[in-house]
Chain A
Amino acid sequence: MKARIALAALVIAAPAGMASAQGPLEGRVAVDGSVAGRCVLGPPSQSAVPLGTLTNTSGPRTGRLATIAAQAINFPGSYCNFAGTRISVSANAMVAADATAPQPGFARAVNFTSTVSNWAAANAVVTTAASAGGATPAAQGPGGTHPAPKLADLTLTLNNFAVPSDLLLVSGGYAGAVTITLGPATP
């Protein structure tokens, strides 16, 4: 009986004496970062659009607005890196630098239409509506929204140049401006 007990004790002791191997052990280094939401308009193919002489210099329309071809300005590589963006455009009619009120039959403003395409399904469009005297030259036109990040070459087209009531234009320099805004649909 004693012998049996001793044997049993040895059997139990043996496993305890063995150096059992440990399983794999894991450490962790978490890595995190962020990217801010950003919209960028690519550099315009031309930052200024020189139209030259605006009026006809001969013929029955002498002194009145000449036909001005549509102007296209590209913004390559424009992007927003987040979803839900909107494009809009605002424009100021071309107005004579001389602010003197024009005489009857004359105007000092040239209106035009600005269209920004290739962003959302709906283009951003605005047509200025300055008066002959140059009042209310500013106009703004909202465009569509885009549901995903986008990288695109935008095109701004200027056309439909017109003078209120097709009046004669007073002489002098004229200047207008177009501003394109690209940003979140819900600021």
Chain B
Amino acid sequence: MRAYLTIAALALPLIAGAAHAQTVTGTVSIDGSVANRCALSINSQTISLGEMSLAATGKLDTSKVDGQNRTLVGFCNGSAAAMRVEAQPLLNITSPGAPPSGFDNRVDYTATANANSVNATDSSVVAGAGTAATVGQFSGNILVTLSASSSPTSGLLVAGTYQGQVLVTLNPVP
């Protein structure tokens, strides 16, 4: 079948040639590209924990932190996109100095970001981001969950307002 079609194609120029008509073939090449890209349509959320200490003991109420989650939304269109999480501790911004013995003014936790069924985690105990995880192509939710909360000495928490953050970085690896 393929051979027959080839012969027919050869025959056509001969016929055309016999009529002395000129055939000109022009070619328009069309190409395009899609950049390796990640995007976040929801790139900011807030978790408000409220009162974090136990009234009975004055120490961290881990139930107020562990299990808290928020959802970012985005996509990566490359097969090798990487996701990295950096958990930054909750620090007492009202009393930022070194706490007296028996007290803590910092709350640590582990943050886990889940996208495309891949987890990237980081503990705020150690500064800096955690190990990158390859998420590949995905489009949808990035679920950020807090767990394993603690304070440095399991001491009493100094009164005040505490602030921290979880940074989720998507990197479209070329």
Q: Which residues of A pack against B, CB within 8 Å? A: 17-38, 40, 79, 81-83, 148-151
Question: B147: CB under 8 A from chain A?
Answer: no
Give 1 or 0 for each of B55-71: 1 = CB within 8 Å of chain A CB: 10010000011001010
B158 contacts A34, C-beta separation under 8 Å: no
* Contact B103–A151 (Cβ < 8 Å): yes
- Asked if A27 meets B168 with Cβ closer than 8 Å, knowing A36-B51, A81-B159, the reply is yes
| For the complex of A and B, 8 pairs with smallest distance between CB atoms | A33-B49, A151-B102, A19-B33, A37-B159, A82-B159, A27-B43, A33-B52, A21-B174
Q: Is B157 an interface residue (CB 8 A)?
A: yes
Give Cα distance in the complex from A19 to B172, angstroms. Answer: 12
Is the CB–CB distance between B40 and A22 below 8 Å?
Answer: no
A37 to B168, CA, bound (A): 33
Chain A positions within 8 Å of B32 at CB level: 17
Contacts of A151 in B (CB 8 A): 100-103, 155-156
Which residue in B39, B111, B146, B157 is a CB contact (below 8 Å) of A25?
Answer: B39
B35 touches A32 (CB 8 A): no
Report whether B157 and A24 are in contact in the complex, using a CB–CB cutoff of 8 Å. Answer: no
The answer to whether B142 has its CB under 8 Å from any CB of chain A is yes
Interface residues on chain B, number (Cβ under 8 Å): 64
- Asked whether A29 lies within 8 Å of B47 as measured between CB atoms, the reply is yes
Closest to A13 in B: B31
Cα distance A18–B33 in the bound complex, in angstroms: 6
A27 B58 Cβ-Cβ under 8 A: no
From A21, A33, A34, A40, name the one whose CB has the most chain B CB atoms within 10 angstroms: A33
Q: CA of A149 to CA of B159 in the docked complex: distance in angstroms?
A: 9
Q: Does B26 contact A (CB under 8 A)?
A: no
State in angstroms the CA–CA spacing of A92 and B163 once bound together.
46
Residue numbers in B under 8 Å from A38 (CB-CB): 53, 55, 58, 159
- A32 and B170 contacting across the interface, CB-CB below 8 Å: no
B58–A40 touching, CB < 8 Å: yes
A165–B89 alpha-carbon span in the complex (Å): 64
A34 to B45, CA, bound (A): 18
The answer to whether B165 and A29 have CB atoms under 8 Å apart is yes
B144 interface contact, C-beta 8 A: yes
Which B residues lie within 8 Å of A83 (CB)? Answer: 95
Binary contact track B133-174/A, C-beta < 8 Å → 1, others 0: 000000000101010000000011111111111111111111
Residue numbers in B under 8 Å from A24 (CB-CB): 169-171
Pairwise interchain contact B33-A31, C-beta atoms closer than 8 A = no
Whether A32 contacts B162 in the complex (CB less than 8 A), given A149-B156, A151-B103, comes out as yes
Would A79 and B53 count as touching, CB distance under 8 A?
Answer: no
Which residues of A sit under 8 angstroms from B48, Cβ to Cβ? Answer: 32-33
